[in-house]
Structure 1
Amino acid sequence: MKRRLTRLTALAALCAALAGCGIRTTSVPVDAGAAPSRVPCELSEQEPAGEGATGVPLQVYLVCGAQLVPVDRAVRIPEEKLSDRVRVAQTLLDELKKEPSDEEKQAGFTTDVRETLAVSRGRKGDPRDALRLSSEPEDLPTHALAQIVCTYADSAAAGPDRSVVLGGPSDNPVRGYQCTAALKARPESVLPTLGEIRPSR
């Protein structure tokens, strides 16, 4: 009897010691997996475009952490060309189509804009601020169209009210789009649109 009590006392002491150390027993092996990765969506300060470069730096919107985040690019447009809306729009589109740099990739940035996409000026009868893409805007991936709209809205490619008027290669009327805070936060949502803008008469 005494031997049995001694064993029980020792077992109780062992359990108390384990509990005091904060150790929980388990019969199932636990695999915590890899440590969670941190996606800062931030880049170190970029170098200027090259010695003697003139103009203003460009800013484009890339996808990071399921949001649209502005990124500065080293490409510059001469100030005298800033009034050329198509030149500005094509340069911005070219930047959106580029594969993100190694630094951008490490920070979590991606782009959904297709490499084959191009932009041109509106056709006769379109509103003055219209631009025509080589694909119908509604056929583009949602994130890609959101990237284009928000990138253009912050540039000379936008209209006076910062809206972006886009059409495609067909005869369909162009549509007006807006870049809002909600769109930047959720680029997969339906883009805010001003509806179809009929050709002027």
Structure 2
Amino acid sequence: MTGRKTVRAAWPLLAAVAATVLSGCGIRATEVPTDFGPAPSRAACQVAGGEVVEPEAGEFTAPVALMCGGRLVDVDRVLPVRERHAGDPVRMARALLEELGRAPADDEERAGFSTDVRKGLTVTGPGEGDPQEALRLGTLPENLSVFALAQVVCTFSGSPAAASDGSVVLGGPDDAPLRRYSCTDEVRTRPGTAPTPAQTVAP
């Protein structure tokens, strides 16, 4: 007990000495927060030991971009879309968006996967005067978190919901401006710090 009290009592003295040394070295304390990016993660980012769900007749699997270890990682999900509708951009976008908003399964969560896309986010096809590949979300894309927007864009980019060049044209409800988004390697590896590239689409 005496030894513990001695160590505990010495902490204020040690702190004062450390502060003096730092001051002498020209290092000043600061309360301004700094951001050096996400801390290294021990997440496996690989689903293992989970039950394999086989698609039923007419259904198929498609990759969705989930968060894991500070980056985007594709996970295969069975979509509730019949194969004959697989080429329909709006049907696919709705099915993929529904998967993004669904909480990760137990095995996915254990592997470190999560999603920043809120359940209930909707998507419709192009409005009057929109390009054919346009998709309109139930909220402005810029209102989504940087992680959620990256998830949506990178999930759509590898599906029939994307334009022929792999870009994704998104807008909000009604006649909100449309923007063409791209899923780059930088966005996939650093979705929190690398903004999703976007270009305004002329009306």
TM-score scaled by length of structure 1: 0.76
Counterpart position of 1:6: none
**Counterpart position of 1:81:** 85
Deviation sequence 1:119-173 (CA, Å, 0-9, x none):
0001010111000000000010110000000000000100000000000014222
2:174 aligned with 1:175: no
Q: How does 1:79-158 map to 2 (within 5 A)?
A: 79-158=83-162
Residue identity matched to 1:101: A
Moved more, 121-130 or 69-78: 69-78
Task: From the superposition, tell whether residues 38 and 190 of structure 1 become closer, same or farther in structure 2 (CA, over 3 Å).
Answer: closer
1:191 maps to what in 2?
196
User: What is the CA-CA distance between 1:37 and the residue it aligns to?
Assistant: 8.3
- Consecutive unaligned residues in structure 2, runs of 5 or more: 1-5, 9-39
User: Secondary structure of 1:60's match?
Assistant: strand
Q: State the match for 1:20 in structure 2.
A: none
How far is 1:84 from its partner? 1.2
1:108 to 1:161, Cα distance in 2 relative to 1, 3 A: same
CA contact (8 A) 1:60 1:71 kept: yes
User: For this pair of structures, how many residues does the alignment match?
Assistant: 165
Residue type of the alignment partner of 1:65: G
- The answer to whether the Cα contact below 8 Å between 1:57 and 1:76 also exists between their aligned partners in 2 is no
TM-score normalised by the chain length of structure 2: 0.75
In 1: Cα distance, 2:129 partner to 2:84 partner: 27
- 1:19-58 correspondence to structure 2 within 5 Å: 38-44=42-48, 47-50=52-55, 52-58=56-62
Distance 1:38 1:80, change over 3 A: same
Q: Percent of aligned positions with the same letter in both sequences?
A: 45
For 2:180, give the aligned amino acid: G
Which 5+ residue runs of structure 1 have no aligned equivalent? 1-26, 30-35
Write the distance in 2 (CA, Å) between the matches of 1:58 and 1:93: 12
Runs of 4+ displaced beyond 4 Å: none
Whether the 8 Å contact between 2:168 and 2:181 is mirrored in structure 1 is yes
CA root-mean-square deviation: 2.0
Question: Is the aligned partner of 1:160 residue 2:195?
Answer: no
